[in-house]
Every structure is written in C-alpha cells, then in structure tokens.
Structure 1
Amino acid sequence: MIIQRLDELAAQIDIPLEILQRKTLNSDFKLKVPMHFAQQIEKGNLDDPLLRQILPSIEEAQTAVGFSQDPVGDLKANPTESLLHKYEGRALLITSPQCDIHCRYCFRRHFPYEQAKKRHWQQALELLATDSSIHEIILSGGDPLTLSEAGLIDLLHQLEQIPHLETLRIHSRTPVVAPNRANMKNWLAVLNASRFNKVLVVHCNHPNELSDETHQTFQLYRDVGVTLLNQCVLLKGVNDSAGTLKRLSKKLFSQGVLPYYCHLLDRVEGAAHFEVDTTPTWQIFETLRKELPGYLVPKLVREIAGEPYKTPIYENADT
C-alpha cells in the first residue's frame, strides 16, 4: 500500500490531521510513502526523522541563493532521453520515472521525467553499444526497481548483449522503503546467472529505516552475488549527528551493507531547509573517524555540476 493522502498518513502515525495540515503545503511534488516506511515512523512524533523526509513541509516554499532545479547538471549531460553520461567509463540509464517514495530533498524532484516515460531505451542502448569506453552501466531513475519484473529482465538481457559492458550497478531506495517489492524471484534468478559484476547501491539515511524485512531483502541480493553499498544524504533534522550516523553505519553492516557515500545536500529548489552548516559537518565526521573503523566511515562528497567525479570534501576545502 502507498500512502498519498495526508489524512491517511495522519491516521497511520497518530498525529491529528489538523496539526499536519498546519505543517504542510500543497506541492506539485506530491506526498508518496509506502506503508512499510510509514510503519517505521514513531507514532505521535511530529519531529520524527523519517517523517521529516517525506512530509511536504511549508519550509519548501523558502527561496535560497544557490539553489536551482538542476543542481547537478543532469540535463547538460543528457545525450539522449533516458541516458546520462557524466563520468569516464560509466553511463546512467534512467530506467523509470517512478519512485516508491517521494523524498523531499530529492535532487531530481524537478527532472523532466516525461522523457523517460517514453522509454527511449533503444536509442540509449545503441549509443552504449557504439561507445566501447563505457564499462559500467548504472540503472537509476526514478527507481529502477519500480519497473515490472519482466521489464527489468528484458533490459538486463539487452545490456548483456553489449560486450564491453562489464558491471551492472543499480541505484535503488526500494529495498529500504518497500523491501518486499524488491523480492522478485525471477529477477533474482536472472541476476544470479548474469555475466555482469553486480552492485546494488541502496539509499538509507537513518537507522530507523532498517528492519527485519530490509535485512531479509539484502540477504536475497547477496545470495545471488550482488555487492551491497549504501549512500546517504546529510540532512538537517534527520541524521546530522555523529551518533545517528554511527548507528546507521553499524546497523547497515549488521545487515550486510557497507557505507559508501555521505552526500552533502544537492542544492535543489525546495530543499534548503535540509542543508547542514559546514562546522557541524566537520565535527560529525571527525567524531566518526575517531569512533568507527575506516570501512564504516562513508566518504563525504558533493556532486558539482561539470566535475568528472564526486568531489571529496575535506575540512580545509571550500564548500
């Protein structure tokens, strides 16, 4: 079940509708949250970090200098509909315009997904086939795991026909927010038989997002030879403390997932209220480096439009 109405959310989290209404605005980027994720929200807690990620807040109406509709330059790196080619050796295929959840800080909340709805896969696949410098294909969106099982299998078979592709990387929030949707038996069997090196990068920002169901889903992917990594976004009021990120890294690892990236907020219009100031960020990561083994400390990065890689952020860097 997907919650798309404020009254449904209010009933689920035991907060009076009139209180939620005072906190929200009517947005073109609509409320959308799977029941599994909603069940992880603490009932009665208006400041719950999971609720903050999905509630269309009146703070989204604030304007801020430096925030735009295309903060990472996706549209300029768009050689054809559905294909992004920003980094050496890698290309990203927008496989679906849909997500199972609408995260309020999403850097693609203004992306023209009507292009991807046309599914110009054939043109994208032809471009991939002619560029032997591309060795890794990244399935993104939206969320690729919102495709039908048959659609995913068909796409994988087509990608396997391109001989210079070696690695399949899937970026998905579905295994975290709606884990049962990711448990597609035939899809997992095809993944198991695939010649590709296989990587699943999930997106989890807070330890409370993880559950027995996420653990079971991660294990299914590990069982078919998929390497599991996590990326999170540093978000004010959600995970902007060393304690929270420490618990997140340890819980991810207990479920078979390695922390990979912690992104500074992409400066997309409507999300300025999530940005964490520089000084607290340094303090958080200094504490993490002291209290966690290196393999549990995610790399702090920012994506800068036009740069050929994710930019590592260090204390003496100008952010």
Structure 2
Amino acid sequence: MITRTPIAVHCEEVEPEAPVSDTPLGDWQRQLRDVIRDPAALCRHLGLDFEWSSGARRGHDLFPVRVPLAYLSRIRRGDPNDPLLRQVLPLGAEGDAVRGFVDDPLEERDHTPKPGLIHKYPGRALLIASPTCAINCRYCFRRHFPYADNAPSMREWERTLDYLREDDSIREAILSGGDPLASPDRRLAALVERLEAIPHLKRLRIHTRLPVVIPDRVDDALLEWLGGSRLQKVMVLHINHAQEIDEAVVAACARLKAAGVTLLNQSVLLRGINDDVDTLAALSERLFEAGILPYYLHVLDPVSGAAHFDVPDDEARDLVDALRQRLAGFLIPRLVREVPGERSKTPL
C-alpha cells in the first residue's frame, strides 16, 4: 500500500481569476518572462487557498517558485494533490536536513574542468548552455548548482570549447543547463556552429523541458538552426506524468521530428506523483503516441530539499517489473541511478 502525504493546501471557495487558457500566451520569450513566481499566486490561479507557514515560506526562499502559464493550464483546479502541482509547489519539508541528501549529489563540481563544461563520462561532454530554466521543479538535482560560475560569455566559450577540440575521443556534445532552450536562438545557433566546426563531434544532444512547459518554444527560428545542423540530433525531454502532454506538446514534438530530431524521454520516479504502475504505464503509452521513446526512469538524486520525493530502490524495481507485465519492451524505460564516479548510468 502506497501512502501519500497530502500537501498543506486546502480547497476553499476562492474568487477565481480569469482562466489562464483564455489569455493569449504570445511568443515563447514573453511566456518565459511572464511566469508565476509566487506560491500564493499559484494557488489563487488554481482555486486553492495556501496555508502559508514559515516552513513553506522557507521552501520558497530556498528555491523560488517558477511556473509558466502554459504548464499551469494543465494543472487541475481545486486539486491540491494534482501531480503537476506537486512538482512545482514548495513544501516546508524542503528545509529539513536529511542524512545523505546533499547540495551536489552527483559531485559535478569535481568534473568541471572549464567554466560551463562538465565532463564525467567517456565520449561525451556536457555544456551548461543556459543558467536558467522555464520552470523550477522541486526535485531538481541542480537546484544548488553554482550557475554564476558556469555561465561563460560567447568569448569565454572559445576557451571552454578548446577543451573539446583537443580531445578527439569526445564524439557527442550535450547541451544542458538550467535549460539550454531558455537561451535565444541566435546565441544557441552560434554555439552549435562552433561545435559543428569540431570534426570529431558527431552528435548533438539537448536536454530540455521547454518544449513541454512552453510548447511555443518550438518555433521556426529553433527549427532552422537545429534542422540545418550536420550533427545527428537527439533531444531528451523530461516528462514525469501523462497529464503534462497536451495537444500543444504533441504538435511541438511533431515539428521536432520533422526536423530530423530523435526524441527520447527521461522521467524521475517521484513519491506522490508517478509512483504507481498505472501512472507509469499511462505515461509510456502517451509518450509513444507523441512520438517520444521512453528512455530512462531515474530514481531520485539525493539533493537536499527533495527527500520527501524519494522512492526506495526495491519499490522502484517492483514497479518496473509490474510494467513488464503490461507493456511491450520498447515502452519500458530503463531504471537507473546516477552514481558519482561511475563511467555511465547504473542500472537497478
């Protein structure tokens, strides 16, 4: 039996604001700017009354709320336990010190040879292409990452890219962040052009949540530089629940696939959000309908502030075993943990 801890929010008759879906969203950069930045405002939009406490305020102060309106429109009004709401609403538990949960759970600071570059695994290197995200997920393993020290200017990127030029064993460049697609297309196109000039690079991988949380991000300007790249293109989306995939997301994915982008998904197994077989099965089915292949199901990285999302390994294995009884093999993501110092993800 799975026990779900209710969020400290209760439903009341709250004077509703204008429905978000009735408000024209406009271009993606405006949507990126005009996000919900306050938990009380978030609850007002959803017809919820937030029982504000010093603990919840501390959670927000530790990692501020940030929710785009396009994502907000998929959260059910009046439901304090909505699985999308639980991913973005701070809790007092985020301020609790829990043994084993630390600021840098993957020890990335030990693998940052140049500003903006993380090199942990053979054959690929990761570039912090943007220090910002469109949405602040409460379980984010980089919620404490020193982005201020890893945000090179375009001129400084040349010194960082020298590291890739000098190591011909690196075949794949990974754009991450933050969210790399939070950067303007002009900046991303210039960076990718420099990557394309490195002859031993074969693939470009982009880890992003933006096509999910702001589907309008997949516009003509993005598709022009991405579709025109000589590099093989892989985009790893981050979707934890089938409810995140609306028709706008499906349309954005179709445009990416038409531009020659392979779409994969990685999810995080999260207590109270997707820790049951029905939810995981529905997610895999919905992903495949949208042209996205389930790739990884990560157990939670032990980052401080997120211990309340943790699902034990044995329970995670049981869930994936149950998925195997219901789904075709290609719909079952690989259950993995990222272990600092290992040369690849560790299967569970």
1:23 is displaced (CA, Å) by 7.6
Which residue of 1 is the match for residue 210 of structure 2?
A: 174
Which residue of 2 is the match for residue 5 of structure 1?
A: 38
Q: Which amino acid in 2 is paired with 1:89?
A: G
Q: Which amino acid in 2 is paired with 1:273?
A: H
Which residue of 1 is the match for residue 66 of structure 2?
A: 32
Mapped partners of 1:184, 1:305: distance in 2: 37
Alignment of structure 1 residues 172-251 onto 2, 5 Å? 172-180=208-216, 182-251=217-286
User: Which of 197, 200, 204 is the equivalent residue of 1:164?
Assistant: 200
Which residue of 2 is the match for residue 88 of structure 1?
A: 122
Mapped partners of 1:303, 1:169: distance in 2: 18
Mapped partners of 2:52, 2:332: distance in 1: 35
* RMSD of equivalent CA atoms: 1.3
1:22 is displaced (CA, Å) by 7.8
Mapped partners of 2:332, 2:70: distance in 1: 27
Which residue of 2 is the match for residue 302 of structure 1?
A: 337
Which residue of 1 is the match for residue 94 of structure 2?
A: 60
Alignment of structure 1 residues 283-302 onto 2, 5 Å? 283-302=318-337
Which residue of 2 is the match for residue 317 of structure 1?
A: none
Which residue of 2 is the match for residue 115 of structure 1?
A: 149
Which residue of 2 is the match for residue 15 of structure 1?
A: 48
Q: Which amino acid in 2 is paired with 1:63?
A: A
1:62 is displaced (CA, Å) by 1.7
Mapped partners of 2:152, 2:230: distance in 1: 28
In structure 2, the gaps of 5 or more residues are: 1-33
Mapped partners of 1:22, 1:178: distance in 2: 31
- Provide Cα deviations, 1:125-174, integer angstroms capped at 9, x if missing partner: 11111110000000000000000011111111111111100000000011
* Aligned partners of 1:234 and 1:264 also within 8 Å: yes
Q: Which amino acid in 2 is paired with 1:112?
A: P
Q: How many residues align?
A: 311
User: Which of 297, 311, 314 is the equivalent residue of 2:346?
Assistant: 311
User: Which of 90, 102, 106 is the equivalent residue of 1:72?
Assistant: 106
Q: Secondary structure at the match of 1:232?
A: strand
* Aligned partners of 2:128 and 2:151 also within 8 Å: no
Mapped partners of 2:56, 2:259: distance in 1: 42
1:278 is displaced (CA, Å) by 3.0
1:21 is displaced (CA, Å) by 5.4
- Provide Cα deviations, 1:186-228, integer angstroms capped at 9, x if missing partner: 2212222211110000000011111011001101110010000
Q: TM-score, normalised by structure 2?
A: 0.87
Mapped partners of 1:163, 1:65: distance in 2: 46
Which moved further from structure 2: 115-124 or 105-114? 115-124
Mapped partners of 1:279, 1:79: distance in 2: 36
Mapped partners of 2:39, 2:53: distance in 1: 8
1:178 is displaced (CA, Å) by 1.1
Q: TM-score, normalised by structure 1?
A: 0.95
Q: Where do 4+ consecutive residues of structure 1 move more than 4 Å?
A: 20-23
Q: Which amino acid in 2 is paired with 1:269?
A: S
Which residue of 2 is the match for residue 145 of structure 1?
A: 181
* Aligned partners of 1:12 and 1:39 also within 8 Å: no
Which moved further from structure 2: 195-204 or 183-192? 183-192
Structure 1 residues 22 and 75: alpha-carbon distance in aligned structure 2, compared to 1, 3 A threshold: closer
Which moved further from structure 2: 203-212 or 116-125? 116-125
